Amino acid sequence: MARAKRLGIRLAPVVIGIGVLIGINAASGNDIYTVIQTYLPDMSNIFKEVNRRYVDKVDPQKLFKSGIEGMLNTLDPYTTYMEKEDREQLEIMTEGKYHGVGLPINFRNNAVTVADPPFIGTPAARAGIREGDEILQVDGVETRGLGLNRTVAKIRGPAGTEVKLLIRREGVEKPIEFTLIRESITIEDVRFAGYIGEGIGYIQLVRFSKNAGREVQQAIQTLEAQNELKGLILDLRSNPGGMLETAVEVADLFLPRKATIVSTRGRDQSANQDFQSFRDPVYGKRPMIVLVNGISASASEIVAGAIQDHDRGIIVGDTTFGKGLVQTVVPLSNTSALKITTAKYYTPSGRSIQKQPYSIWGDSTGAERKKRFQTDAGRPVNGGGGIVPDIVLTRERVSDLAWDLRRKSMYFNFAVHYANVHEELKDHFEITESTLNDFRDYIELKGYRYTHPFERTLSEFKAESAENGGEELVQEIERLEKAIEKYKTELFLASQQDIRRILKQELASKLLGTEKAVEIWLSEDEGARKAIDLLGDLDHYRIVLEAKD
C-alpha cells in the first residue's frame, strides 16, 4: 500500500495536465506546463464570470464539481473525484473493517431496509434486528429525508458511542426502538464455506477487501480439518473485485512459489510491477474449479486469469466483466482525493482482459483480440475482453414475469411477511401449491400488476391510431390487449418453476439463515452441479486442462 501511495503522489501534477488538455489536440506536442499556464487562467475566469453574470443563480460548489466530473468523464469510468463519503467507503475496503452496528442495508419499497441478516455477533444481530426491517429514524432523524448514503453515514460512528434506531417490522403494529452501541465491525469476504459433495469443498468469496486472503486460507484449513478435501470450488460469481494486493494473496494460496500472478504496466515507470507467489501453496495440487460470471470483475479476473494461465484449475461459467485497469488514490486534501487509473494489468500469459472502449482517447487493448496467448500447458486463451471460461455455461433463461417480481421486491417482501407469520416452519419448509397461492394473493393485495414489454409499445400505437382516426385499428388493438391479459394470467402458471425456485431461496434466507439459504441455492445451481461433476470425474478434468484446441 505504501508503494501505491507514493505512486499516486508522484502522479498528482500529471492529473492537472490531463484536465486542462480537454479540447486540445493531445498529440500537439505542447509542453504540459505551458498548456497549464495558458489554459488554467481561462478556466478560473470562466468560473468567476458564470458566477457573476449567469441569468440564474448558480451553486458554485456544484458548478465546480460538475467541471471536475466532466473533465474526468473523458478518461475512463474508474477515474473519479472522491469526497469524504467516497474516501470512507474506500478505507473500509482497504482496512477491512468499520465502526458501526453490523447492518447491511439498501433502498427497497421507497424505504431504507435491512437487506440481509445482520452480521453474526454484531450489535444489530444481538439486539434482534431482522432482515426486512425498515429503518424509520436514526437518532430521531427521519431516514426518508436522509436517503440511503446519509443514513449509512449516520448509523456509523466511533466505537463505544450510542445510536438509536426506530424500526418498522412486518406484522408488528407499532414501530420498535433499538438502542445500540457501535463497535468495530470486521467485513467478512467469505460468505459461505462448506462441503457440498463427497470430499468437495465450496468457498463463496463475495469481495476482495483486506481480509479476503486470510479468510480464504482459514476456510481451506477448516475444510481440511473437517474431512478429506479431494476437490475445491472457489465461487467468484458476482464478485466485483477490490484490492490488487488481496487478489495476489488469494491466488498465492493455489499456485507454486514464484509463479507469476499478475503484472501491471503504466505510462509511468513506477507503475510497472510484477507480482509473484511468495510461499508454498496452501491448496497446491488437488483439483479445483473457479466459478465466474459476467459480474466477476477486477480482482476476480486476476485470480481467474492466473489459475487459467497456469493450468491450475478449470474456469467454469460465463465470460467475466473485463476490467483490467488499476487505480491509485491521490490525496488532494483532508476530505478529498483523486482515484486515477495508472496502469493496466496483465495475466501471466501476457493478456490484458480490459474490454474496450474505455476512453475517448482510444484503447490499445483492442489489438489483444487478434493475438493468440497460451497457458503453461499450451492451451489457447483469448485477451481483450474478460476471462473466457474453459467451460462456458449458457446463461439461465428466466421469464420476464419472474424478473419483474424480483425487480419490484415482491419475493423479498413476501418472504419477510411469511417468515413473521410462520415461525413454526423454521426447521423445515417446502414451496407447496398453498405457498404459491399465498404468494399470488399477497402480490394482488399489494396491487402488483405485470406489464409485458409489448404492452408499452401497443399502448403508444393505440393512442397514435386514435388521434389519427384509425377506429378499426383501435378495435383490433383492444382485441389484442384482451388476448395479452389472458396470456398474462397463464404466464404465472408457465413461470411457476422460476417463481418457486426464487421464492425458496428468499424464504430459506428469512427462515433458516444465510448459510442454509446458500446450501439450498447450490443444490439447484447449474454452475455448482457442473463443478461437482468435473471434480467427480478426474479423467474428464485432466482432459479439459490438457486440451490444445
Unique residue bearing C-alpha cell 418498522: 168
Asked whether 262 and 247 are in contact (CB, 8 A), the reply is yes
**Looking at 263, 277, 296, 298, which residue is catalytic?**
298
* Annotation marks residue 495 as catalytic: no
CB atoms within 10 A of CB 279: 11
Q: Is 309 a catalytic residue?
A: yes
Helix H segments across 122-167? 123-127, 143-155
Please state, as a whole number, how many other Cβ atoms lie within 10 Å of the Cβ of residue 431.
17
Cis amide prior to 158 (ω within 30 degrees): no
Distance CA 175, CA 168 (A): 5
Q: How far is CA 242 from CA 92, 184, 207, 325, 372, in A?
A: 11, 21, 6, 12, 28
Tell me the chain's radius of gyration from C-alpha atoms.
27
**CA distance linking residue 18 with residue 39, whole number of Å:** 12
In the set 323, 339, 344, 355, the catalytic residue is 323
Cα diameter, the chain = 79
Distance of CA 214 to the CA centre of its chain: 21
Q: How far separated are the first and last CA of the chain, in Å rounded?
A: 40
Would you call 438 a catalytic residue per the annotation? no
Instruction: Say if CB 325 and CB 358 are below 8 A apart.
Output: yes
User: Which of 133, 309, 318, 390 is the catalytic position?
Assistant: 309
Active-site positions?
Answer: 298, 309, 323
